[in-house]
Each structure stands twice: as structure tokens, then as C-alpha cells.
Structure 1
Amino acid sequence: MNKRWGILAAALCASLVFGGCQKESLNDGDTGETNTNKTDSKVNEKQSNLDVLQPLAYGNVNGLNLEPGTTLSIIGRGSSSAYWKEVEAGAKQAVADMNKALGYKGEDKVKLTYSAPGTENDVDDQVNILDEELARYPAAVGIAAVDSGACAVQFDLAAENNIPIVAFDSGVDYQDIAAMVDTNNLEAAATAARKLCDSIDDEGEIALFVHDSKSTSAKEREKGFLDEITQNHPNVKVVKVYHLDELEEMQKEIAGVPESGEQPDTEEPAEGADAPESEADSGSDITQEEVVKYILEKNPSIKGCYTTNEEAAKLAVEACESLEREDMKVISFDGGKDQLELLKEEKLEGLIVQNPYGIGYATVVACARAVLGQGNEAVVDAGYTWVTKDNMEDAPIARMMY
């Protein structure tokens, strides 16, 4: 019996494949909206993404008898990357499945509005979007918060109007959300730490490139990684943790601009000479790519990099290529097309692949359950898996790539 369970568990593990642009409101004919992109064809090929959701009830729309014409609002962190397109696709499929199950057509259809800020770190844009969506009085809102503490006023307003809030992908500080749909970022980050340490023989210096300093997902992916290093890898040293929203600070460091209150260690310009321009001195023309390159160049002993999303991974790989550091081991989160290509080219050591399609689908289910007063699990786990060049073509894993 134990052997049989071991085989079943191994098979199940093989299937656990997981873990912007301008604002858009994207719709689909089956969701009651106007976009003509259909998602019905994805039902079968994406079913495995839904089968690993925990609890399993969030992978189907059974018993979600919403009133005709109900509107749900989903607000992502962005909309241009492969990850966020998968979140959107999962959400739209859940609404399409709901309409099909309920037999709703025309104006009776449950409607979905998917919106997102222009870039993934634009807090103000996302808050404005949330204001606009609440002004339309949707039945429920799902949001992947850019800043975990930025929307408290809006959430209070939603509560006053009996609009439940479901957090997904990145949590919020607000206490009264209906549910949280997410990857177990602490556990996934610890896995990434172990894999990176294995790749550098559990010894040497490493750097972290984290997608921001404000979101819950970023904080957890940083904490889970650092905790694993501190507790179990005494010969590995983290020499730098850089957040991608700290560009201005690093620009000044590279340009040699002193911190506030300090005097620059420079000679006074000769009489008649032009004073240096403040904009040039600030380093404001230094790009994100140059910052990452500067960090690696300044620390030539770094053997490995941990990056927490697609953007960070690309920056690290580009910097390594520029510095001709083919020996650098780079590990990242997410599994979009560009990252898979880098994996094939052995420019990435491995990926923590999440389940954005499942996250989007489960978020809609959680919203519907909240509207119906059915109750929700506090946390819905979407899962993740470790993907390398050696296993990325395996059928169970390949079906989950995005």
C-alpha cells in the first residue's frame, strides 16, 4: 500500500506544474463582454492547471448560481507579460464556464472586467483603477496589489457597499478580505534558494534582484530565500539585495552623489568654470540594465543570482552577457516564453514556475463564493514546480508553460 501511494504521489508531483502596458478592460463573448477572443478551446489543455488547486473546489464553478447580469472586477498588477495574460485567461475561462453552466446568454451573462496599470510597479495607477471599478459597483473585486498597504481607504469603501475583496498573487495588509489566492511564495523561494546553492556547490557569494520593495509577493520571495540561506547554507553569502523600484537610489550611488547631509568630496570648480549640471550629477540617465551590470561588476566574486520575476531575470541575464559571465548561475520565478528560451539556451539554471491560469480562475471562483455568501478558504494555494532544461519538455510540465 505504501509503495502504491509513493507511485501515486510521484505521479501527482509530476503534474504540479507551478508553484504592464496601458490600462485595459478586456472582455470575451462568453463572459458577457465585447472582445472576440475565445477561451473555450483552452478548457481541456488547461484542466491540469485547475486540478492542482487546493482546495480542489476552486477549480470548478459548481454551485455558483450568480444572479443574471452580475459583474465581477479583476485588477492585475500588469497586463503585458505572459504571466498576467495567463491570469486574465484563467479568470475569463471561469466566467465563461459559469455562463455555460447557468445557461446565461445576452444581457443575462455574468460579466467580467479585467483591468491593470500600465506598469507592474505603478501604485497610483492601480489605486485609480480600483476607484473607477468601485464607482461601477461590481458584485466583487479581485486585486493583485502593487503595494500591500495602499488601498485601505478603497477597501473600507468597498466594505461599506457590501463589495467583497479577494486578494490574489500579492496580498494586502487589509484584514477583511474574503480570500487570498496565491503561490506559497515562502516555500517556493526556499526551494529556489536550495537549487541556487546546489548550483554553486553550496559555497560563495550571491545577489538577489527582487521585482519591488512594496508588494507582498516580493517581500515573501525575498524572505523565504534569505531565511533558507541563513538557516541552512552557512558558506553562502548574500552580498546584495536590489529591488527594481530602487532605481533612483542606485543611480545616485553610481554617479557618486552623496547622501543627504553629506558634502561631496570634490574640489571647487575653478573661477569662471561652469558648475556641473545637477541632472547629470544625479545619474538620472543611468538605466536599470546599467544598474544591474554595475552591481555585478562591483562584486566580481558573485557566483549566482536569484531573480523574482521575468523582468528581473532578463536584466540579470543581459548583465551577465555584457560582462561575459557565462559561468553565472541565474534562477528565477515565472515561466513565460522568453524565460523558457533563456532556459533552453542555458542562460538560466532553472525556474520556479507558478500557476497564473489557476490563480485567475480561482480568484473568480472566490469572488463568486463571496457574493453568494458561501464562505471561502482563507488561502487558496495555486501550486508551483521546479523546471530545468532537462524536464521542460516532459509532457506534464510542457502543458503548463505559458
Structure 2
Amino acid sequence: MRKKKLTVVTTLLLLSSMMLSACGAKTTETKPAAASTAPTPAASAAAPAAAKTDKIYIPVISKGFQHQFWQAVKQGAEKAAKEFNVEITFEGPETEQQVDKQIEMLQAALGKKPSAIAFAALDSKAATPLLEKAKAAKIPVIGFDSGVDSDIPVTTAATDNKAAAALAADKMAALIGNEGEIALVVHDQTSRTGVDRRDGFTNRIKEKYPNIKIVDTQYGGGDQLKSTDLAKAIIQAHPNIKGIFGSNEGSAIGVINAVTELKKDGKIIVIGYDSGKQQTDAVRSGKMAGAITQDPIGIGYWSVKAAVQAIKGETVPKSIDTGFHWYDKTNIDSAEIKPLLYD
């Protein structure tokens, strides 16, 4: 019996030793096995994102999304991104009054450590501290449309807004017989475009047309409804007014709406800026005498192209003039103008 007990104990000890050895072998082999295991679905999904970081990344931050103009700028930016094989994001606040939201977008974009950034400032002063950070981090800043009112941008791809607004003033003067009362509804007084269009129009009137009086200048944030209310108030306060200039798409449509609501069609000359569908329809119907059209696709294209050039260390001109044209009933369907309309 003693021998049997000893045999059983010995057998149990041998079995325990074999099991422990087997466990130790399994632990040793697990590590290389895990390294060679096929990636999980989560890892596979992350792989493209990792690959994207090798591509030049350029965030393009616009002033808004509510106008067709910005969709045309986006189209141009995407065209350049495809041509130069870079990754872009195109974003902007819902309205051109949301300065704080645009600043948040700029901060988030810089946090992604982009190769360059394209930016159209709603408020140059508000954006400057973040753009200083971009400069310190050697991230080239490309201004577009309104650009940035500072020397930080490498270049700015934009319309010569002062010259374009001066042409609008010349057209207004001719249409009202070089005399009478006029007013402006401007999209803002904080962006470069707002300031330049206001000043370009106002200075030309003051310099060349002494018999024309600017009775009011109001700021509607590019919002149609607000611009409509402002234009109605101007018309009611100045019953002899002969013309109103709307400095961007939303401003101009607001002026048209006000003139229509107050049954002043044909009595007040409306001149606009930009060329979305509502404006081109208004020109064709006669509600708007004419407008300045930019080249928004060209603005978007050059903002990305210039960014790529700056990243590569190529020489970039300090400003890129993307051009402008006057259009009215006589030339709206011409070969020169039609490609610049973004219906």
C-alpha cells in the first residue's frame, strides 16, 4: 500500500510538472504569434488615415458657406488639390458674422500641424495671434478673397477690390446721370473685402462726382434678411435716393428685396457684387442694373497652388490678382462673362 501511494504521488507530481512546462511554453510562443497576426478591422480602418499624413495637408478656411460664391471657391481649391496631389479640407462658418467660430476653426486647423494654411479672415485683428503662431511654427499662410490685413501671409489670391468697387461707382454715376443721392449696404467693416469695397466705391464717388451725395452706409453682415431691413430703412429715410450699391452677394440680394417690397423697381438703381444665381436672374429681369463678377474658381485654385509653391520654397508673388469684370444685360451671356458666373 505504501508503494502504491508513493507511485500515485510521484505520478501526480510528474503530471503537474508537465502542465507547468506546457503553460510556460505557451506564454513564450504567444508574443511572436501576436506580432504576426493579421490586423484587426480597427487597425485596417486606421491604416489609410496614417498613410494620409504623408501627403501635404492644407486646410482652406473661408469666410462662410451660405453663398454660392464660396462653393465656387471650394471648387477651385479642389481642382488645385487634385492637380498637385495634396490633401485639403475646405470649411467656414455658417454665416459671415461668426468671427468666433472661424477663429475656432483656425485654431483646430493649426492643431493638426498642416504644411500650410489658406485663410480668408472675417476679422484680421482677431485672427492675428493665431497667425503669429503659424508664422513661428514656419507654417506658410496664404490669404485669399479678403486675405488678412497684416504682413504674415506669404501671398494673397484675391480680386483688386478697390479697383472693382471703383468701377461699380463709375457705372452707378453713369446710370443716375452723375447726380443725386446714393447709399451703400456693405457686408462688414472688419474684413479686407468689406473695407476695400466700401472705400473703393466711396472714394471714387468723392473724387470724380461732386454732384453725387452718399447719404448712408450700413453693414448687414452679408445676410440677406438683415440687408433687406437696412436697405428699406435707407429708402424710407431718403425718399429721393437714386441708387444703392450692395457690396457682396447677400448685401445685393437684400437691396433688391427691399426695392421690390417697397415697389421701387425702376426708380432706384441697384448695383451689386458677385454673380450667384439670384443676382444673375435679377440682372436678366432688370431688377439689378449690373454687378461686378470675380473669378471665385480662380481664387480657390490659386490659394492652394500658392500654398504648394510656398511649401516647396518656390518664389511666390506678394499678391495674386485673380481679376474682375462688369456684367449687365448686354454681356451676361458673352463668352468672356459666362464662365465667371456660378449659377
Do they superpose with TM above 0.5?
Answer: yes
Task: Report the counterpart of residue 315 of structure 1 in structure 2.
Answer: 254
Q: Is the 8 A contact 2:132 2:152 kept in 1?
A: no
Deviations 1:138-195 (CA, angstroms, capped at 9, x unpaired) = 1000001001211111011112221110111113233221101110011101100000
Give the 3 Å change call, closer, same or farther, for CA 287–313 of structure 1 in structure 2: closer
Give the 3 Å change call, closer, same or farther, for CA 194–246 of structure 1 in structure 2: closer
Give the 3 Å change call, closer, same or farther, for CA 287–337 of structure 1 in structure 2: closer
For 1:1-400, list aligned pairs within 5 A. 68-99=54-85, 110-245=86-221, 288-326=227-265, 327-400=267-340
Partners of 2:284 and 2:303 in 1: CA distance: 32
Q: Once the 2 structures are TM-superposed, how far is the Cα of residue 399 of structure 1 from its aligned partner? A: 2.2
Task: Report the counterpart of residue 3 of structure 1 in structure 2.
Answer: none
Q: Is the 8 A contact 2:55 2:87 kept in 1?
A: yes
Larger deviation, residues 392-401 vs 348-357: 392-401
Structure 1 unmatched ranges of 5 or more: 1-31, 34-66, 100-109, 248-285
Give the 3 Å change call, closer, same or farther, for CA 146–314 of structure 1 in structure 2: same
Q: What CA RMSD, in Å, does the superposition of the two structures yield over aligned residues?
A: 1.8
Q: Is the 8 A contact 2:222 2:250 kept in 1?
A: no
Q: Secondary structure at the match of 1:219?
A: helix
- Provide TM-score, normalisation by structure 1: 0.70
Task: Report the counterpart of residue 22 of structure 2 in structure 1.
Answer: none
Partners of 1:287 and 1:173 in 2: CA distance: 26
Q: Which structure has the bigger radius of gyration? A: 2
Task: Report the counterpart of residue 51 of structure 1 in structure 2.
Answer: none
Q: Secondary structure at the match of 1:305?
A: strand
Question: Which fold has the larger relative contact order, with Cα–Cα distance below 8 Å and residues 6 or more apart in sequence?
Answer: 1
Partners of 1:307 and 1:290 in 2: CA distance: 13
Bigger helix share: 2
Q: Once the 2 structures are TM-superposed, how far is the Cα of residue 97 of structure 1 from its aligned partner? A: 1.1
- Provide TM-score, normalisation by structure 2: 0.81
Deviations 1:46-93 (CA, angstroms, capped at 9, x unpaired) = xxxxxxxxxxxxxxxxxxxxx951111100001231100010000000
Q: Is the 8 A contact 2:70 2:296 kept in 1?
A: yes
Partners of 1:245 and 1:310 in 2: CA distance: 11
Q: Is the 8 A contact 1:148 1:170 kept in 2?
A: no
Larger deviation, residues 292-301 vs 233-242: 292-301
Q: Secondary structure at the match of 2:198?
A: helix
Q: Once the 2 structures are TM-superposed, how far is the Cα of residue 245 of structure 1 from its aligned partner? A: 4.2
Structure 2 unmatched ranges of 5 or more: 1-47
Partners of 2:176 and 2:334 in 1: CA distance: 26
Percent same amino acid at aligned positions?
Answer: 34
* Matched letter for residue 294 of structure 1: A
Q: Secondary structure at the match of 1:171?
A: coil
Task: Report the counterpart of residue 281 of structure 1 in structure 2.
Answer: none
